[in-house]
Every structure is written in structure tokens, then in C-alpha cells.
Amino acid sequence: MSARKSGRNIERNLARRQFLKHLALTGVVGGIGMSGIIRNALANGKDPIVTGMHKITGDVRVNGAAAREGMLLKNGDTIVTGVKSQAIYVLGQDAFFQRDNSTVTFGSGEAAHVMRVLTGKILSVFGKGQRTIQTSTATIGIRGTGCYIEDEPTLMNDKADRTYFCLCYGTAELVPTAAPGQKETITTKHHDHPLYIHGNPKMPTSMLPAPIVNHSDIELALLESLVGRKPPFPSEYWKTY
């Protein structure tokens, strides 16, 4: 390794440690149960936290069996959170904060790039490489982004199925299942274009504007820190929605 490259690596590692210390001092860290994860990241020094389950609250299951903190995860796994439960985990270059009453499946083999949100709520950050997210109402193609999804697959109050999708930053291609011809590519820098994606084919427009709800920039920053990255906006712009 050249001296110049070694110097750049040292600078990146120092910057990462300073960023993690900044997160650890942020008052809301304890509120979402991630202060221990930040301590682990600092203890690991230059290495991002490895693939696996890092924080469990309540009833969390992997492939039907009770999950435990520290267990490895792999492509093909299905992760289910119960009532008042949540899970924070890393899979490869990607990190996830899965909320309560949620079921998420990761593809394997030729479908290893596919993530299926069968029901529930999940905040995700993704590394380089193409990923496909499938929900009850849409197929979403992404690359190196952060996003928040709430999937509502059951009929309630005479409303058809819908998915809430906030592209927190990056670029995504959205294809509504009910109206593939309404495909749209969006690019955002900071939660600029949240949407409801409806599953009712009778609606003239499947994708409608939505408010920013139920996720925060500190959560995105914490997830990115688990895989050695930072969100593309400075901390003075962090908000809770």
C-alpha cells in the first residue's frame, strides 16, 4: 500500500470515529436503543460492524426461530418482528431498522438482490450495487440509497392496499403493480419526494404525494455508521419526522 493511500485510510478512519462519537453524544441515541451499537462500533476501530443481528427488542424471529443479538444473517432469511418489537441488523453493505409487526424476506441465489417487504415498516440504507424492493403495491429499484417503507397490505376502511415510500436520499425507479405504465424515476437529497403508492387499479394516479412520517435523520446516520458510511447531508440538517 502506498503512503498516500495509507494516509487517506487513516483520515477516513479518524473521521469515522469522530462521527461515531458525535452520534454517541446525541441525546436521542438512547431513545432508540442504539447507544450500545455505537460503543461496539467505536471498539471495532476502523472496521464496520459485521453482518448480523445487532439490536433486538421484544419478539423477533429469523426463519421462525427466536432471534438473538449477535447471530449471523444470510441471504434467504425471513425476519419477523412482533407486537412492540423491533430489530436492527446488517446484511452485507446494507443496514436495517425493522419496526414492529413487520415481515421482511431477503432473496438468495439469482434473487440475492431482492428484498421483499411483506408487511410492516422498515428503514434501510444500501451500499453500492443494484437492489430491488418488492412491496404489496410496487417494485422499487434502488442503488446506494436510504429509504423508509410502510406497507399496508390489508383492506381497511374501504381503502385499497397502499405503500408509503420515502426516498430519503439517492435515486429510485418506482413501478406501481396496479399501473406499470406510471413508472417513475425519482432523485432526492433530503426526503424531498415521499409518496403513497396505491394498489387500486381504478385510481387514475397510483402514486400520490405524502408527508414525511415516522423516521428520523439520526436513525439514518446510525444505520449508515454500522456499515462505515455517513448520510449525504450534514448533521445540522438532521430532523425527526
| Residue ranges of domains in the chain | 51-237
What is the pLDDT, as a whole number, of residue 105?
A: 98
Class of domain 51-237 (CATH, top level): mainly beta
What is the pLDDT, as a whole number, of residue 29?
A: 46
Cell reading at 157: 376502511
Q: Please choose, from the candidates 197, 195, 190, 199, the residue with its C-alpha nearest in 3D space to the C-alpha of residue 211.
A: 195
Cell reading at 124: 434501510
Low-confidence ranges of the chain (pLDDT < 50): 5-8, 10-12, 14, 23-32, 42, 45
What is the pLDDT, as a whole number, of residue 164?
A: 97
Cell reading at 155: 383492506
Question: Distance between CA 205 and CA 176 in Å, rounded?
Answer: 10
Q: Please choose, from the candidates 57, 38, 56, the residue with its C-alpha nearest in 3D space to the C-alpha of residue 48.
A: 38
What is the pLDDT, as a whole number, of residue 41?
A: 53
Question: Distance between CA 142 and CA 7 in Å, rounded?
Answer: 32
Q: Which residue has the cell 438512547?
A: 30
